[in-house]
Structure 1
Amino acid sequence: MNLANKITLARIFLVPLIMFLLLVRLDFNPIRIEDFTITYNQIFATLIFIIAASTDGLDGYIARKRKMVSNLGKLLDPLADKLLIAAVLISLVDMGKLDAWIAIVIISREFAVTGLRQIALLEGKVLAASKWGKWKTAIQIAAIIVLLINNFPFTFLDIPVDLIASWAMAAITIYSGIDYFVKNKELLVLNA
Protein backbone atom coordinates (compact mmCIF):
# COMPACT_ATOMS: atom_id res chain seq x y z
CA MET A 1 0.00 0.00 0.00
CA ASN A 2 1.39 3.37 -0.98
CA LEU A 3 1.83 6.44 1.26
CA ALA A 4 -1.16 8.33 -0.16
CA ASN A 5 -3.51 5.42 0.59
CA LYS A 6 -2.07 5.08 4.11
CA ILE A 7 -2.87 8.75 4.76
CA THR A 8 -6.40 8.22 3.47
CA LEU A 9 -6.85 5.16 5.70
CA ALA A 10 -5.56 7.14 8.68
CA ARG A 11 -8.29 9.72 7.99
CA ILE A 12 -10.90 6.94 8.01
CA PHE A 13 -9.54 5.54 11.30
CA LEU A 14 -9.73 8.98 12.92
CA VAL A 15 -13.49 9.18 12.33
CA PRO A 16 -14.53 6.87 15.23
CA LEU A 17 -12.09 8.64 17.56
CA ILE A 18 -13.61 12.03 16.74
CA MET A 19 -17.13 10.66 17.27
CA PHE A 20 -16.09 9.09 20.58
CA LEU A 21 -14.65 12.38 21.81
CA LEU A 22 -17.75 14.30 20.79
CA LEU A 23 -20.43 11.88 21.95
CA VAL A 24 -19.05 10.18 25.05
CA ARG A 25 -19.42 12.43 28.07
CA LEU A 26 -16.40 12.17 30.32
CA ASP A 27 -16.26 13.70 33.80
CA PHE A 28 -13.59 16.31 33.13
CA ASN A 29 -14.36 19.85 34.19
CA PRO A 30 -15.10 21.98 31.13
CA ILE A 31 -13.30 25.24 30.46
CA ARG A 32 -15.49 28.22 31.41
CA ILE A 33 -14.87 31.85 30.51
CA GLU A 34 -17.83 34.08 31.35
CA ASP A 35 -20.78 32.54 29.41
CA PHE A 36 -18.52 30.46 27.17
CA THR A 37 -18.04 26.75 27.95
CA ILE A 38 -16.11 24.08 26.07
CA THR A 39 -15.08 20.57 27.05
CA TYR A 40 -11.64 19.09 26.66
CA ASN A 41 -13.25 16.42 24.48
CA GLN A 42 -14.44 19.10 22.06
CA ILE A 43 -10.98 20.67 21.93
CA PHE A 44 -9.29 17.33 21.21
CA ALA A 45 -11.98 16.35 18.68
CA THR A 46 -11.56 19.69 16.92
CA LEU A 47 -7.80 19.31 16.70
CA ILE A 48 -8.13 15.77 15.33
CA PHE A 49 -10.81 16.93 12.88
CA ILE A 50 -8.50 19.70 11.62
CA ILE A 51 -5.67 17.19 11.15
CA ALA A 52 -7.97 14.71 9.38
CA ALA A 53 -9.50 17.39 7.14
CA SER A 54 -6.08 18.73 6.21
CA THR A 55 -4.98 15.29 4.99
CA ASP A 56 -7.70 15.44 2.33
CA GLY A 57 -5.59 17.50 -0.03
CA LEU A 58 -2.33 15.96 1.15
CA ASP A 59 -3.08 12.39 0.06
CA GLY A 60 -4.18 13.51 -3.42
CA TYR A 61 -1.15 15.75 -3.80
CA ILE A 62 1.24 12.94 -2.81
CA ALA A 63 -0.50 10.46 -5.10
CA ARG A 64 -0.23 12.79 -8.11
CA LYS A 65 3.28 14.09 -7.33
CA ARG A 66 4.77 10.62 -6.80
CA LYS A 67 2.64 9.01 -9.51
CA MET A 68 0.95 6.73 -6.97
CA VAL A 69 -2.64 7.25 -8.15
CA SER A 70 -4.43 3.93 -7.66
CA ASN A 71 -7.94 2.55 -8.00
CA LEU A 72 -7.95 1.92 -4.24
CA GLY A 73 -7.10 5.57 -3.64
CA LYS A 74 -9.82 6.71 -6.06
CA LEU A 75 -12.30 4.67 -4.02
CA LEU A 76 -11.01 5.42 -0.52
CA ASP A 77 -10.39 9.19 -0.81
CA PRO A 78 -13.98 10.30 -1.47
CA LEU A 79 -15.24 7.68 0.99
CA ALA A 80 -12.95 9.04 3.71
CA ASP A 81 -14.09 12.61 3.01
CA LYS A 82 -17.76 11.69 3.21
CA LEU A 83 -17.31 9.57 6.35
CA LEU A 84 -15.46 12.37 8.13
CA ILE A 85 -17.97 15.10 7.29
CA ALA A 86 -21.07 12.93 7.83
CA ALA A 87 -19.84 11.57 11.17
CA VAL A 88 -19.07 15.02 12.54
CA LEU A 89 -22.36 16.47 11.24
CA ILE A 90 -24.32 13.66 12.91
CA SER A 91 -22.36 14.21 16.12
CA LEU A 92 -23.12 17.96 16.00
CA VAL A 93 -26.83 17.21 15.57
CA ASP A 94 -26.71 14.87 18.57
CA MET A 95 -24.93 17.56 20.59
CA GLY A 96 -27.66 20.07 19.70
CA LYS A 97 -25.23 22.33 17.81
CA LEU A 98 -26.61 21.81 14.29
CA ASP A 99 -30.14 21.53 12.93
CA ALA A 100 -30.81 18.02 11.63
CA TRP A 101 -32.18 19.31 8.32
CA ILE A 102 -28.80 20.86 7.47
CA ALA A 103 -27.00 17.57 8.13
CA ILE A 104 -29.61 15.70 6.05
CA VAL A 105 -29.26 18.13 3.14
CA ILE A 106 -25.47 17.86 3.16
CA ILE A 107 -25.36 14.07 3.50
CA SER A 108 -28.09 13.65 0.85
CA ARG A 109 -26.15 15.84 -1.58
CA GLU A 110 -23.07 13.70 -1.04
CA PHE A 111 -25.01 10.51 -1.81
CA ALA A 112 -26.60 12.10 -4.89
CA VAL A 113 -23.31 13.36 -6.33
CA THR A 114 -21.64 10.02 -5.58
CA GLY A 115 -24.45 8.31 -7.49
CA LEU A 116 -23.93 10.70 -10.42
CA ARG A 117 -20.21 9.93 -10.37
CA GLN A 118 -20.99 6.20 -10.47
CA ILE A 119 -23.21 6.72 -13.52
CA ALA A 120 -20.38 8.69 -15.15
CA LEU A 121 -17.93 5.87 -14.43
CA LEU A 122 -20.27 3.39 -16.10
CA GLU A 123 -20.14 5.66 -19.16
CA GLY A 124 -16.33 5.73 -18.98
CA LYS A 125 -16.18 9.31 -17.69
CA VAL A 126 -14.68 10.77 -14.54
CA LEU A 127 -16.35 13.76 -12.91
CA ALA A 128 -13.64 15.93 -11.47
CA ALA A 129 -14.36 18.12 -8.47
CA SER A 130 -15.75 21.47 -9.61
CA LYS A 131 -14.71 24.82 -8.17
CA TRP A 132 -18.07 24.87 -6.34
CA GLY A 133 -17.37 21.43 -4.91
CA LYS A 134 -14.02 22.66 -3.61
CA TRP A 135 -15.64 25.77 -2.11
CA LYS A 136 -18.28 23.53 -0.55
CA THR A 137 -15.63 21.43 1.15
CA ALA A 138 -13.74 24.46 2.46
CA ILE A 139 -16.89 26.10 3.82
CA GLN A 140 -18.09 22.85 5.40
CA ILE A 141 -14.76 22.38 7.18
CA ALA A 142 -14.69 26.00 8.40
CA ALA A 143 -18.32 25.83 9.58
CA ILE A 144 -17.76 22.53 11.38
CA ILE A 145 -14.74 23.96 13.20
CA VAL A 146 -16.74 27.00 14.36
CA LEU A 147 -19.53 24.69 15.57
CA LEU A 148 -17.09 22.35 17.33
CA ILE A 149 -15.51 25.20 19.28
CA ASN A 150 -18.85 26.72 20.31
CA ASN A 151 -18.51 29.86 18.18
CA PHE A 152 -15.23 30.86 19.84
CA PRO A 153 -14.14 33.71 19.88
CA PHE A 154 -17.20 35.24 18.20
CA THR A 155 -19.43 34.41 21.16
CA PHE A 156 -17.71 37.21 23.13
CA LEU A 157 -18.58 39.66 20.35
CA ASP A 158 -22.22 38.52 20.13
CA ILE A 159 -21.76 37.55 16.48
CA PRO A 160 -23.55 34.30 15.54
CA VAL A 161 -20.83 33.10 13.17
CA ASP A 162 -21.83 29.51 13.92
CA LEU A 163 -25.37 30.14 12.68
CA ILE A 164 -24.15 32.10 9.65
CA ALA A 165 -21.62 29.37 8.85
CA SER A 166 -24.29 26.66 9.16
CA TRP A 167 -26.54 28.44 6.68
CA ALA A 168 -23.62 29.15 4.34
CA MET A 169 -22.63 25.49 4.52
CA ALA A 170 -26.17 24.42 3.58
CA ALA A 171 -26.47 26.99 0.78
CA ILE A 172 -23.14 26.19 -0.91
CA THR A 173 -23.83 22.46 -0.57
CA ILE A 174 -27.19 22.81 -2.32
CA TYR A 175 -25.74 25.09 -5.01
CA SER A 176 -22.75 22.84 -5.73
CA GLY A 177 -25.04 19.80 -5.94
CA ILE A 178 -27.33 21.55 -8.43
CA ASP A 179 -24.25 22.66 -10.39
CA TYR A 180 -23.03 19.04 -10.72
CA PHE A 181 -26.41 17.82 -11.95
CA VAL A 182 -27.00 20.69 -14.38
CA LYS A 183 -23.52 20.35 -15.91
CA ASN A 184 -23.93 16.58 -16.23
CA LYS A 185 -27.62 16.28 -17.10
CA GLU A 186 -26.77 14.31 -20.27
CA LEU A 187 -25.65 11.42 -18.03
CA LEU A 188 -29.11 11.29 -16.50
CA VAL A 189 -30.85 11.52 -19.88
CA LEU A 190 -28.71 8.75 -21.33
CA ASN A 191 -29.38 6.45 -18.37
CA ALA A 192 -33.08 7.19 -17.83
Structure 2
Amino acid sequence: MNLPNRITLARICLIPFLMVFLLVDFPFYPEPLHFGSFTLPYNQLIAAFIFIVAASTDGIDGYLARKNNMVTNLGKLLDPLADKLLVTAVLISLVQMGKLDSWIAVVIISREFAVTGLRQIALLDGSVVAASAWGKLKTVVQIVAIVLLLLNNFPFSYTGIHVDEIAVYVAALITIWSGIDYFIKNKNLLHLSKA
Protein backbone atom coordinates (compact mmCIF):
# COMPACT_ATOMS: atom_id res chain seq x y z
CA MET A 1 0.00 0.00 0.00
CA ASN A 2 1.46 3.35 -1.03
CA LEU A 3 1.83 6.50 1.10
CA PRO A 4 -1.20 8.41 -0.27
CA ASN A 5 -3.47 5.45 0.48
CA ARG A 6 -2.02 5.17 3.99
CA ILE A 7 -2.76 8.85 4.58
CA THR A 8 -6.33 8.32 3.37
CA LEU A 9 -6.74 5.31 5.68
CA ALA A 10 -5.38 7.37 8.56
CA ARG A 11 -8.09 9.95 7.84
CA ILE A 12 -10.74 7.24 8.07
CA CYS A 13 -9.20 5.93 11.31
CA LEU A 14 -9.43 9.39 12.90
CA ILE A 15 -13.22 9.48 12.48
CA PRO A 16 -14.11 7.26 15.49
CA PHE A 17 -11.78 9.29 17.73
CA LEU A 18 -13.42 12.49 16.55
CA MET A 19 -16.87 11.12 17.34
CA VAL A 20 -15.80 9.87 20.77
CA PHE A 21 -14.54 13.31 21.74
CA LEU A 22 -17.74 14.91 20.51
CA LEU A 23 -20.32 12.47 21.85
CA VAL A 24 -18.91 10.72 24.93
CA ASP A 25 -19.14 12.69 28.15
CA PHE A 26 -16.06 11.57 30.04
CA PRO A 27 -16.02 12.48 33.74
CA PHE A 28 -12.32 13.36 33.66
CA TYR A 29 -12.62 16.33 31.31
CA PRO A 30 -11.32 19.47 33.04
CA GLU A 31 -13.50 22.54 33.33
CA PRO A 32 -14.12 24.19 29.93
CA LEU A 33 -11.86 26.98 28.75
CA HIS A 34 -13.20 30.40 29.76
CA PHE A 35 -12.24 33.69 28.17
CA GLY A 36 -14.65 36.28 29.50
CA SER A 37 -18.09 35.23 28.28
CA PHE A 38 -16.62 32.70 25.81
CA THR A 39 -16.64 29.05 26.86
CA LEU A 40 -15.20 26.09 24.99
CA PRO A 41 -15.24 22.51 26.32
CA TYR A 42 -11.93 20.67 25.93
CA ASN A 43 -13.59 17.81 24.07
CA GLN A 44 -14.73 20.21 21.32
CA LEU A 45 -11.27 21.75 21.12
CA ILE A 46 -9.68 18.32 20.72
CA ALA A 47 -12.34 17.29 18.19
CA ALA A 48 -11.75 20.48 16.20
CA PHE A 49 -8.02 19.73 16.12
CA ILE A 50 -8.65 16.15 14.94
CA PHE A 51 -11.08 17.38 12.29
CA ILE A 52 -8.63 19.99 10.98
CA VAL A 53 -5.85 17.40 10.78
CA ALA A 54 -8.12 14.88 9.04
CA ALA A 55 -9.53 17.45 6.60
CA SER A 56 -6.07 18.75 5.72
CA THR A 57 -4.88 15.27 4.76
CA ASP A 58 -7.42 15.25 1.92
CA GLY A 59 -5.34 17.60 -0.19
CA ILE A 60 -2.08 15.97 0.83
CA ASP A 61 -2.92 12.42 -0.25
CA GLY A 62 -4.30 13.54 -3.62
CA TYR A 63 -1.32 15.79 -4.28
CA LEU A 64 1.20 13.05 -3.43
CA ALA A 65 -0.64 10.49 -5.54
CA ARG A 66 -0.69 12.73 -8.61
CA LYS A 67 2.82 14.13 -8.18
CA ASN A 68 4.47 10.74 -7.69
CA ASN A 69 2.30 8.88 -10.20
CA MET A 70 0.85 6.75 -7.38
CA VAL A 71 -2.84 6.98 -8.31
CA THR A 72 -4.48 3.60 -7.67
CA ASN A 73 -7.98 2.18 -7.91
CA LEU A 74 -7.92 1.72 -4.14
CA GLY A 75 -7.10 5.41 -3.73
CA LYS A 76 -9.88 6.39 -6.14
CA LEU A 77 -12.28 4.43 -3.94
CA LEU A 78 -10.96 5.41 -0.51
CA ASP A 79 -10.35 9.14 -1.01
CA PRO A 80 -13.93 10.25 -1.74
CA LEU A 81 -15.24 7.69 0.76
CA ALA A 82 -12.99 9.11 3.49
CA ASP A 83 -14.16 12.66 2.72
CA LYS A 84 -17.83 11.71 2.88
CA LEU A 85 -17.42 9.62 6.04
CA LEU A 86 -15.58 12.45 7.79
CA VAL A 87 -18.11 15.16 6.95
CA THR A 88 -21.11 12.88 7.57
CA ALA A 89 -19.80 11.75 10.96
CA VAL A 90 -19.18 15.32 12.11
CA LEU A 91 -22.53 16.60 10.84
CA ILE A 92 -24.45 13.81 12.59
CA SER A 93 -22.45 14.44 15.76
CA LEU A 94 -23.21 18.17 15.60
CA VAL A 95 -26.93 17.41 15.19
CA GLN A 96 -26.74 15.08 18.21
CA MET A 97 -25.05 17.85 20.20
CA GLY A 98 -27.78 20.32 19.25
CA LYS A 99 -25.32 22.56 17.41
CA LEU A 100 -26.69 21.98 13.89
CA ASP A 101 -30.21 21.78 12.50
CA SER A 102 -30.91 18.31 11.15
CA TRP A 103 -32.30 19.64 7.85
CA ILE A 104 -28.91 21.16 7.01
CA ALA A 105 -27.16 17.86 7.68
CA VAL A 106 -29.74 16.06 5.51
CA VAL A 107 -29.24 18.56 2.65
CA ILE A 108 -25.45 18.20 2.72
CA ILE A 109 -25.46 14.41 3.06
CA SER A 110 -28.15 14.01 0.38
CA ARG A 111 -26.12 16.06 -2.07
CA GLU A 112 -23.13 13.78 -1.43
CA PHE A 113 -25.24 10.68 -2.16
CA ALA A 114 -26.68 12.26 -5.31
CA VAL A 115 -23.30 13.29 -6.75
CA THR A 116 -21.81 9.90 -5.85
CA GLY A 117 -24.67 8.26 -7.73
CA LEU A 118 -24.01 10.52 -10.72
CA ARG A 119 -20.35 9.51 -10.65
CA GLN A 120 -21.34 5.84 -10.61
CA ILE A 121 -23.55 6.38 -13.67
CA ALA A 122 -20.62 8.12 -15.37
CA LEU A 123 -18.34 5.14 -14.66
CA LEU A 124 -20.91 2.77 -16.18
CA ASP A 125 -20.97 5.07 -19.22
CA GLY A 126 -17.17 5.01 -19.44
CA SER A 127 -16.64 8.62 -18.39
CA VAL A 128 -15.55 10.50 -15.31
CA VAL A 129 -17.26 13.35 -13.46
CA ALA A 130 -14.37 15.61 -12.51
CA ALA A 131 -14.43 17.78 -9.42
CA SER A 132 -15.76 21.22 -10.23
CA ALA A 133 -14.77 24.61 -8.85
CA TRP A 134 -18.15 24.75 -7.05
CA GLY A 135 -17.47 21.33 -5.53
CA LYS A 136 -14.09 22.44 -4.24
CA LEU A 137 -15.56 25.67 -2.84
CA LYS A 138 -18.30 23.60 -1.18
CA THR A 139 -15.68 21.50 0.59
CA VAL A 140 -13.77 24.54 1.87
CA VAL A 141 -16.90 26.32 3.12
CA GLN A 142 -18.17 23.15 4.81
CA ILE A 143 -14.85 22.69 6.61
CA VAL A 144 -14.82 26.33 7.77
CA ALA A 145 -18.43 26.07 9.00
CA ILE A 146 -17.75 22.83 10.87
CA VAL A 147 -14.62 24.20 12.54
CA LEU A 148 -16.49 27.34 13.63
CA LEU A 149 -19.28 25.20 15.09
CA LEU A 150 -16.78 23.00 16.91
CA LEU A 151 -15.02 26.08 18.34
CA ASN A 152 -18.28 27.78 19.42
CA ASN A 153 -17.80 30.58 16.89
CA PHE A 154 -14.28 31.40 18.08
CA PRO A 155 -12.71 33.92 17.34
CA PHE A 156 -15.88 35.73 16.27
CA SER A 157 -17.69 35.08 19.55
CA TYR A 158 -16.41 38.41 20.89
CA THR A 159 -17.99 40.38 18.06
CA GLY A 160 -21.54 39.22 18.70
CA ILE A 161 -21.77 38.16 15.05
CA HIS A 162 -22.73 34.51 14.62
CA VAL A 163 -20.26 33.79 11.83
CA ASP A 164 -20.64 30.05 12.51
CA GLU A 165 -24.37 30.19 11.69
CA ILE A 166 -23.74 32.36 8.63
CA ALA A 167 -21.07 29.90 7.43
CA VAL A 168 -23.48 26.98 7.90
CA TYR A 169 -26.16 28.62 5.74
CA VAL A 170 -23.60 29.62 3.11
CA ALA A 171 -22.29 26.03 3.12
CA ALA A 172 -25.84 24.71 2.66
CA LEU A 173 -26.49 27.08 -0.27
CA ILE A 174 -23.18 26.31 -1.99
CA THR A 175 -23.74 22.60 -1.38
CA ILE A 176 -27.13 22.76 -3.09
CA TRP A 177 -25.82 24.85 -5.97
CA SER A 178 -22.75 22.65 -6.51
CA GLY A 179 -25.01 19.58 -6.66
CA ILE A 180 -27.29 21.26 -9.20
CA ASP A 181 -24.20 22.35 -11.18
CA TYR A 182 -22.92 18.75 -11.36
CA PHE A 183 -26.26 17.53 -12.68
CA ILE A 184 -26.62 20.35 -15.22
CA LYS A 185 -23.12 19.82 -16.57
CA ASN A 186 -23.60 16.04 -16.75
CA LYS A 187 -27.25 15.87 -17.84
CA ASN A 188 -26.20 13.78 -20.84
CA LEU A 189 -25.52 10.92 -18.41
CA LEU A 190 -29.15 10.90 -17.35
CA HIS A 191 -30.68 10.26 -20.77
CA LEU A 192 -33.51 7.77 -20.76
CA SER A 193 -32.84 4.62 -22.73
CA LYS A 194 -35.08 4.12 -25.71
CA ALA A 195 -37.17 0.97 -25.82
TM-score of the superposition, structure 1-length normalised? 0.97
Superposed displacement of residue 38, structure 1: 1.0
Q: Describe how 1:48-127 pairs up with structure 2 within 5 A.
A: 48-127=50-129
Among candidates 31, 34, 50, match of residue 32 of structure 1: 34
Superposed displacement of residue 155, structure 1: 1.3
Among candidates 122, 129, 132, match of residue 130 of structure 1: 132
CA deviations over 1:109-138 (Å, ceiling 9, x no partner): 000000000000001101110000000000
Tell me how far apart the structure 2 counterparts of residues 56 and 64 of structure 1 sit (CA, whole Å): 13
AA aligned opposite 1:97: K
Tell me how far apart the structure 1 counterparts of residues 99 and 122 of structure 2 sit (CA, whole Å): 36
Q: Gaps spanning 5+ residues in structure 1: where?
A: none
TM-score of the superposition, structure 2-length normalised? 0.96
Give the match for residue 21 of structure 2.
Answer: 21
Tell me how far apart the structure 2 counterparts of residues 103 and 34 of structure 1 sit (CA, whole Å): 31
Q: Structure 1 runs of 4+ off > 4 angstroms? A: none
Superposed displacement of residue 47, structure 1: 0.6
Superposed displacement of residue 35, structure 1: 2.5
CA deviations over 1:123-168 (Å, ceiling 9, x no partner): 1101110000000000000110000000012111101101100100
Tell me how far apart the structure 1 counterparts of residues 92 and 184 of structure 2 sit (CA, whole Å): 28
Tell me how far apart the structure 2 counterparts of residues 184 and 65 of structure 1 sit (CA, whole Å): 28
AA aligned opposite 1:103: A
AA aligned opposite 1:147: L
Superposed displacement of residue 184, structure 1: 0.5
Q: 1:99–1:122: structure 2 CA closer, same or farther, 3 Å change rule?
A: same
Q: 1:67–1:191: structure 2 CA closer, same or farther, 3 Å change rule?
A: farther
**Root mean square deviation, CA, Å:** 1.1
